[in-house]
């Protein structure tokens, strides 16, 4: 029987069977942790791919393209080292609630006039949300400004 318990810092040294070298941290010149990305390679045959499990940037370091750089490094390793077919980022039961325009900064407009720096606010309804107001089928079409989200 297994046991679910709070995470301990020493647990990081025991992740070898779950994580590959697709985990990176971003550090300031003074050694302060700015962000991290956790990923893994998984799947089989044409479904062999890199998976972004978590990516986070400390609030004071956001809008500096740190998440973008960490994702690009994971994508590169998934492609060049693991020879994957794709990289995915999603969660079980999560869906796009809305698209946040220019969430990652205003670095230019991509193909078709869509800003390449938009983000998806992805959500999964919990038991308290009886009316399921926190999810919607057309979330990709619901566009809000980065200034409108906290």
**Whole-angstrom Cα distance, residue 143 to residue 20?**
35
Q: How far is CA 127 from the centre of its chain?
A: 24
Judged on CB neighbours under 10 Å (0-12, 13-18, 19+), 111 is exposed
Mean pLDDT by runs of 10 across the 150 residues of the chain is 89 76 91 94 91 92 91 93 88 85 62 63 87 90 85
- Whole-number pLDDT of residue 88: 85
Encoded tokens for 45: 């045959």
- Whole-number pLDDT of residue 107: 45
- Whole-number pLDDT of residue 59: 92
- Whole-number pLDDT of residue 80: 93
Does the pTM surpass 0.75? The reply is no
Helix (H, G, I), strand (E, B) or coil at 12: helix
Spatial CA neighbour of 48 closest among 81, 86, 102: 86
- Structural domains present in the chain: 14-88 (3.40.630.30), 95-148 (no CATH)
């Amino acid at each position: 029987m297994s046991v679910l318990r709070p995470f301990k810092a020493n647990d990081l040294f025991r992740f070898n069977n779950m994580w590959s070298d697709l985990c990176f941290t971003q550090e300031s010149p003074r050694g302060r942790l700015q962000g991290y990305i956790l990923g893994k390679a998984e799947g089989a045959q044409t479904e062999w791919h890199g998976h972004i499990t978590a990516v986070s940037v400390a609030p004071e370091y956001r809008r500096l393209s740190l998440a973008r750089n960490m994702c690009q490094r994971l994508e590169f390793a998934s492609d060049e080292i693991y020879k994957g077919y794709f990289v995915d980022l999603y969660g079980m039961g999560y869906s796009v609630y809305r698209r946040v325009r220019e969430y990652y900064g205003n670095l230019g407009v991509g193909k078709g006039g869509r800003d390449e720096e938009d983000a998806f606010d992805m959500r999964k309804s919990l038991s308290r949300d009886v009316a399921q107001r926190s999810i919607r089928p057309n979330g990709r079409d619901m566009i809000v400004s980065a200034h409108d989200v906290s």
